[in-house]
């Protein structure tokens, strides 16, 4: 057990944006909400999974919707409290702690703000090890844990309790309601007990986010190369380096969808990279070969500072480095690839681990 203060929040926000692979909502908004909550209610208790009793009820909290909506529709914090307390009343049980549903942008930070306001601990675990766009794309689903009952709530005071026949229906119905509620909602979802969380969750994710953010922050004062250090920490690979020359985004069916094109420089000066986006960066390829594809992580970093660039923050002219990171082993199982591999998103490519793609690329040079 330890306590999270303002510096830890600052570092987690940076790491969350990187592991969020462009999605999960604007980390800046979540950071401000968490910092304000700490200012008003004090530091946040962070527990490891091993410190949770097997029968203790833990409920992930976060945002559902298109990240681009967050630019104009900023949560006020009451939505998350309404969702959380409504679910607690429905369950008829005291919720012991909350946690992030994913490692991504605002969704790594909203549970921290909520925990500070409610006086609850946060568990250092999540259900993805990255960000994904749909509710069933969590390790809990892979292990047969139900997403429902779940509660979604908006800033106008609307909230709904959903019970569905399976997690795919939870995604479909909640997504439709989210669109009607303005494109983004706060949610309390996947209620579970400590024993399930220990077996199914991805452990120490907030610590990893904090370490990533600390490396990038400390590099500013030492002239170190933050991207190289981050790649060493996460076991990742540099895939491409260049300038954004085209970005096409639209909010459609409750998602931020789009394509970005990056013109290479330095070692990549005669190449162009295409990034496919659905809330997150899901596929990276040149005209000749695939570089990385979901469920492995694709992150875009500022080439000078190493700071991650989100899908809504990606702009023409940005000079960036694109990196690939191996996903958690659970996503490389048959069910994991079926749930969030390239075929699910309509990409006509087979899943190949990023380390194998990098090796193939080196052999063809």
Q: What is the pLDDT of residues 207-247, one digit of tens each?
A: 999 999 999 999 987 877 899 999 999 999 999 999 999 99
User: What's the pLDDT at 246?
Assistant: 96
Query: What is the average pLDDT value for the chain, to the nearest integer?
Result: 94
Render pLDDT for 208-219 as a digit per residue (tens, 0 to 9): 999 999 999 999
Q: What sign for the dihedral angle of Cα 216, 329, 121, 115?
A: positive
Per-residue pLDDT averaged across 263-273, rounded?
94
Reported confidence tier of residue 297, pLDDT bands at 50, 70, 90: very high
Reported confidence tier of residue 313, pLDDT bands at 50, 70, 90: confident
CB 20 within 8 A of CB 223: no
User: Which alpha helices (DSSP H) does the chain contain, by range?
Assistant: 6-19, 27-41, 78-91, 110-118, 139-142, 167-180, 194-200, 205-222, 226-234, 334-340, 354-364
Per-residue pLDDT averaged across 244-261, rounded?
86
Q: % helix / strand / coil in the chain, to the nearest 5? A: 40, 25, 35
Q: How many angstroms separate the CA atoms of 57 and 97, rounded?
A: 7
Kindly report the CA angle at 190 between 184 and 193, in degrees rounded to 5?
A: 150
User: What's the pLDDT at 221?
Assistant: 76
288 CB neighbour count, 10 Å cutoff: 9
Q: How many angstroms separate the CA atoms of 298 and 283, rounded?
A: 7
CB 30 within 8 A of CB 108: yes
CA of residue 6 relative to chain centroid, distance: 21
User: What's the pLDDT at 203?
Assistant: 98
Q: Residue 203 burial (CB < 10 Å; 0-12/13-18/19+)?
A: middle
Reported confidence tier of residue 365, pLDDT bands at 50, 70, 90: low
CB 66 within 8 A of CB 254: yes
Of the chain, the percentage scoring pLDDT greater than 90 comes to 84
Render pLDDT for 122-166 as a digit per residue (tens, 0 to 9): 999 999 999 998 999 999 999 999 999 999 999 999 999 999 999
Per-residue pLDDT averaged across 101-122, rounded?
94
CA atoms within 13 A on the CB side of 133: 25
Residue 68 has pLDDT above 90, yes or no: no
Residue 77 has pLDDT above 90, yes or no: no
User: What's the pLDDT at 255?
Assistant: 77
Residue 106 has pLDDT above 90, yes or no: no
**H-run or E-run covering 302:** strand 297-302
Cβ-Cβ contacts under 8 Å for 140 (sequence gap 6 or more) = 127, 147, 190, 192, 196, 200, 201
Residue 292 structure tokens = 């990385």
Cβ-Cβ contacts under 8 Å for 333 (sequence gap 6 or more) = 142
CB 306 within 8 A of CB 230: yes
Beta bridge partners of 278: 257, 280
| 180 to 26, 175, 211, 285: CA distances (angstroms) | 21, 9, 38, 35
């Amino acid at each position: 057990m330890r306590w999270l203060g303002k510096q830890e929040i600052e570092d987690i926000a940076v790491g969350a944006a990187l592991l969020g692979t462009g999605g999960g909502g604007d980390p800046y908004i979540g950071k401000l909400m968490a910092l304000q909550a700490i200012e008003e209610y004090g530091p946040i208790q962070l527990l490891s999974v091993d410190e949770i009793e097997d029968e203790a009820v833990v409920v992930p909290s976060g945002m559902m919707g298109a990240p681009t909506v967050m630019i104009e529709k900023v949560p006020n914090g009451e939505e998350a409290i309404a969702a959380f307390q409504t679910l607690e009343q429905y369950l008829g049980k005291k919720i012991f702690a909350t946690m992030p549903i994913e490692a991504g942008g605002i969704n790594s930070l909203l549970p921290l703000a909520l925990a500070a306001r409610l006086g609850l601990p946060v568990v250092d675990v999540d259900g993805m090890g990255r960000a994904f766009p749909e509710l069933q794309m969590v390790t809990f689903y892979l292990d047969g844990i139900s997403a429902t009952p779940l509660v979604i709530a908006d800033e106008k005071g609307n909230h709904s309790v959903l019970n569905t026949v399976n997690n795919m229906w939870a995604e479909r119905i909640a997504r439709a309601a989210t669109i009607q509620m303005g494109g983004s909602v706060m949610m309390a979802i996947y209620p579970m007990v400590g024993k399930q969380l220990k077996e199914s969750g991805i452990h120490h994710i907030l610590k990893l986010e904090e370490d990533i953010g600390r490396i990038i922050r400390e590099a500013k004062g030492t002239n170190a190369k933050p991207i190289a250090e981050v790649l060493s920490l996460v076991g990742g690979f540099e895939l491409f380096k260049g300038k954004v020359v085209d970005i096409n985004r639209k909010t459609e069916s409750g998602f931020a969808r789009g394509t970005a094109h990056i013109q290479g420089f330095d070692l990549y000066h005669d190449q162009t990279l295409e990034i496919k986006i659905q809330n997150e960066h899901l596929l990276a390829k040149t005209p000749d070969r695939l570089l990385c594809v979901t469920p492995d992580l694709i992150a875009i970093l500022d080439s000078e500072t190493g700071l991650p660039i989100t899908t809504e923050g990606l702009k023409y002219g940005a000079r960036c480095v694109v990196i690939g990171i191996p996903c958690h082993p659970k996503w490389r199982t048959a069910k994991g690839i079926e749930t969030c591999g390239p075929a699910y998103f309509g990409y006509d490519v087979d899943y190949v681990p990023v380390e194998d793609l990098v090796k193939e690329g080196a052999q063809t040079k």
